Amino acid sequence: MKQIESIKEFGGFLNRYVHPSSSCHCDMTFSVFLPSVAQNEKVPALYWLSGLTCTDDNARTKGGMQRYAEEHGIALVFPDTSPRGADVPDEADRYDLGQGAGFYVNATQAPWNRHYHMYDYITDELPKLIESELPILGNVKSISGHSMGGHGALVCALKNPGSYRSVSAFAPICNPMECGWGQGCFSAYLGNDKEEWKDYDATELVKSGARVDTLLIDQGTADEFYDEGQLLPENLQEACNSEGQELVLRMQPGYDHSYHFIASFVGEHIAYHAKHLKC
């Protein structure tokens, strides 16, 4: 784990690292914001999973999160969205498959199955690494994300009850089995057996009995991908209502899919996570 950048902001430090990943079989880059209190003690962490086409850099430069993380004394972890490198498979003419579009699954189909193990990377390898190398408390973490990353956050939390103190999402892909983005990536990464897809679909996981304390989701009503049927929060709402899973779904009038939307409400999300991380 090699530090390649360090920037002081809001009293803490935004650091960037690169390391060889055993899950993804390539070098992976990630960023961590450490609040000032981390100079003297270990702190809890909030993992932020970004969306299609993003790297670790988008959220840390556009989301406005670090100010709130400093106020609450929590670290922010910004992983990349996929494996990368010359030897990593890609679809150069598609933004929704390949590098930048890992979908936080463990791929089982060639040529993706050697490198595209983002689920294991996020839930196991990366937390172990940073908890051993940085002033971050062991197993005191929450998770959030946007769009494809919102999908990832919901799935990671639902599949690992007790591992995350809280979970939230902005405009997540709630039912990927039923939308074009999910169908395109799942068929490539996981094959054609749709029973296998259910393991990475928040709506299907809730239907099968997976539970967390509460799901917090913000969705903009002027989101073009919501209008196109890519996000499907109503499907998740219906499953949660049917199965008794608490869901706070906040439809935010006039907001789109961009980081302007995220920056408008991320302070509330970080306060929500901080409450659970400090209890």
pLDDT tens for each residue of 10-45? 999 999 999 999 999 999 999 999 999 999 999 999
Q: Kindly report the CATH class assigned to 2-277.
A: alpha beta
Rounded CA separation 68/4 (Å) = 24
64 token code pair: 């406005």
243 token code pair: 């199965």
Number of other residues whose CB lies within 10 A of the CB of residue 4:
10
Rounded CA separation 67/34 (Å) = 11
CA atoms within 13 A on the CB side of 59: 32
| pLDDT of amino acid 209 | 97
Rounded CA separation 201/53 (Å) = 20
Instruction: State the chain's maximal CA–CA distance in angstroms.
Output: 51
Catalytic site residue 264? no
Catalytic site residue 147? yes
Question: How would you label 65-85 residue by residue, b for 16+ Cβ within 10 Å and e otherwise?
Answer: bbebbbebbbbbbbbbbbbbe
* Amino acid code (one letter) for 66: Q
Catalytic, out of 117, 146, 151, 257: 257
Catalytic site residue 223? yes
| pLDDT of amino acid 279 | 76
Query: If we measure between CA atoms, which residue out of 256, 245, 149 comes closest to residue 203?
Result: 245
Catalytic, out of 31, 168, 223, 273: 223
Taking only the tens place, the pLDDT of each residue in 185-220 is: 999 999 999 999 999 999 999 999 999 999 999 999
110 token code pair: 């060639």
12-21/26-34 β-pairing: antiparallel
79 token code pair: 């992983």
pLDDT along the chain (279 residues), means of 10: 97 98 98 98 98 97 97 98 96 94 98 98 98 96 98 98 97 98 97 96 98 97 98 98 97 98 98 94
Q: Are 82 and 99 in contact (CB under 8 A)?
A: yes
Catalytic, out of 144, 147, 166, 168: 147
Rounded CA separation 76/119 (Å) = 18
| pLDDT of amino acid 109 | 98
